[in-house]
Amino acid sequence: MKQLIAIALSGGIDSLVAAYLLKEQGHQVMGIHFITGYEPAAAVNQNNSSVFLSPDKALSSNKKKKARHTISHITDQLGINAEIIDCSAEFRKNVVDYFIRTYRAGRTPNPCLVCNPSIKFGTVLALARKLGASALATGHYARTTKDPEGRFHLLKGVDQAKDQSYFLAFMTPAQLARAYFPLGDMAKSEVQKLAQEKGLNPLTKNQSQDICFIKDQTYAEFLARQPGFEAKPGIIEDINGNILGEHNGLHLFTIGQRRGINCPAGEPYYVVRIDVKQNRLVVGFKKDLLSSECRVVNINWINQAPASSITVYTRVRYRSKAIRSTLFPIDGSTAMVRFQHPQFAVPPGQGGVFYQDNDEVLGGGWIEKR
C-alpha cells in the first residue's frame, strides 16, 4: 500500500484536482484545511493558541463545525477525511506582521514567499507528520526531482504562464523532500478540463488573489486599519531635491508606481525611492528607475551555495521575466546580481529568485535598496 499523503485543501480547483490525482495514483489521502484568520466566513478564533496542541483543541466545536461544513463540499467529492486546523496565530505572526513591518520600512513585501516555508511547509507539514502523513501535497504549479546523491531539486512547472516555483524558493531541502506537487506537469487548461470531465466542483470559482488576507480593500486601506498605524503626510521631491508637492502617507506607494503622485510634468513621474526616515517620497522619470544590478541578502540556497560567480536567470518579482544575469557571491547568504540588460523598478523587499538554465530554482533572497 502506498504512503499516506496530506493535501492542503483551500477549496479551489487546483488543490481539488491535486487531491484527485493522488488518489488515482493509489495513495492514501487525507485533507488538511488550515484557517488563517482572514477568511470571509467568520469561523476563526483570532486569539487561539498554536495548532500544535492538536486539531481538536485548536478550534472550538462550533467553529470547527462551521469550517468542516465549508470543506465538506470538497472532501465529499473525493471520499476522504479532512482535519481542520487553526493557523491564525502563526499566520498573523509570520506572514501578516511581516507584511505590515515591510511596508512600514518602505519596502515591497511578498507574503507568499514567507507563507510557503513557514506556514504550509512549516506549521501544516509538521502537523500532517504528527497525524501520520509522510508528505504534504499542494496545488502549486511546480516540480521536484531527486538526484542520484539523494538531493532534492525544485523546478518550474511546465505551464510557464502558471509556474509558481518563484514562491517556493525559500523552502529547505528537508521541506522539498516532504513536498508533492501533482500539478507540476500539467497546464492550467488541463486541470480545468480534468475537473470538468470528472465532475469535480471547487468551492471557489475565482482565481486566488495575490494577497489572500486582503479582500475587498486596497493594500493601503488594509494597512490604515492596523492597530497603531498612523498615516503621516510628507513632501514629494524629485531626484535633485526639488520639492514638487505633498503625499498623504508613504504606505500608499511602492517603487515604480506611477498613479497617485499627482505632480504635473512633461512626462509621467514614477516612485524612485521611499525615504521612511525623513518621510519623503522621491520621484523621477522612467529612465531613473533602470538598474543594472542589485544586492540580494539572506539567500536561501536550496542545495550548495556557489563559490564563485555564475550565470543565472534572475526573477525580481513574480510577474516579471527571469533575466539572464551574473551572480557574484559576497558570502554564503549575500550576492550582487548584474543583469544582462538594465531592469525597470527593481523593488527592495521583493524576492530575488535565481534559476539555472531558466528552469531549476537554485535559491532566493531579499532584494535590498539601491
Mean pLDDT by groups of 10 residues along the chain of 370 residues? 90 96 96 88 36 38 66 93 93 96 94 98 97 97 96 97 97 97 98 97 75 89 90 96 96 94 94 96 97 98 96 95 97 97 96 96 92
Say whether both 244 and 300 belong to one domain.
no
Say whether both 256 and 338 belong to one domain.
no
Say whether both 252 and 306 belong to one domain.
no
The pLDDT assigned to 37 comes to 86
Say whether both 141 and 49 belong to one domain.
yes
Last residue of a domain, one of 269, 284, 299: 284
Domain holding 317: CATH number? Answer: 2.40.30.10
**Alpha-carbon span 94 to 111, nearest angstrom:** 9
Active site residues: 115, 212
The pLDDT assigned to 64 comes to 62
Domain housing 193 = 4-198
The pLDDT assigned to 48 comes to 33
Tell me if 9 is assigned to some domain: yes
Residues 135-164: b if buried by 16+ CB within 10 A, e if exposed? bbbbbbbbbbeeeeeeebbbbbbbbeebbb
Say whether both 189 and 307 belong to one domain.
no
Q: How many domains does the chain have?
A: 3
- pTM, to two decimals: 0.91
Work out the widest C-alpha separation in the chain, in whole angstroms.
71
The pLDDT assigned to 229 comes to 87
The answer to whether 95 touches 213, Cβ cutoff 8 Å, is yes
Domain holding 28: CATH number? Answer: 3.40.50.620
Say whether both 295 and 189 belong to one domain.
no
DSSP secondary structure, 37-99, as one string: S--SS----TT---GGG-HHHHS-HHHHHHHHHHHHHHHHHHT--EEEEE-HHHHIIIIIHHH
Tell me if 359 is assigned to some domain: yes
The pLDDT assigned to 216 comes to 84
The pLDDT assigned to 332 comes to 93
Tell me if 360 is assigned to some domain: yes
Say whether both 38 and 147 belong to one domain.
yes
Residues 6+ apart with CB under 8 A from 366: 296, 297, 298, 349, 350, 351, 352
Tell me if 220 is assigned to some domain: no
Say whether both 246 and 116 belong to one domain.
no
- Give me the amino acid identity at 190: E
Q: Helix crossing, 61-78 with 13-24: angle to 10°?
A: 60
**Alpha-carbon span 244 to 326, nearest angstrom:** 38
Domain holding 274: CATH number? Answer: 2.30.30.280
The pLDDT assigned to 69 comes to 72
Say whether both 115 and 243 belong to one domain.
no
Say whether both 65 and 120 belong to one domain.
yes
Say whether both 62 and 122 belong to one domain.
yes
For residue 142, give the C-alpha cell: 511546480
Last residue of a domain, one of 220, 250, 284: 284
Nearest to 113 by CA among 126, 104, 122, 105: 122
**Alpha-carbon span 217 to 221, nearest angstrom:** 6
Last residue of a domain, one of 245, 266, 284: 284
Strands 152-156 and 142-146, sheet pairing: antiparallel
The pLDDT assigned to 39 comes to 78
For residue 257, give the C-alpha cell: 508606481
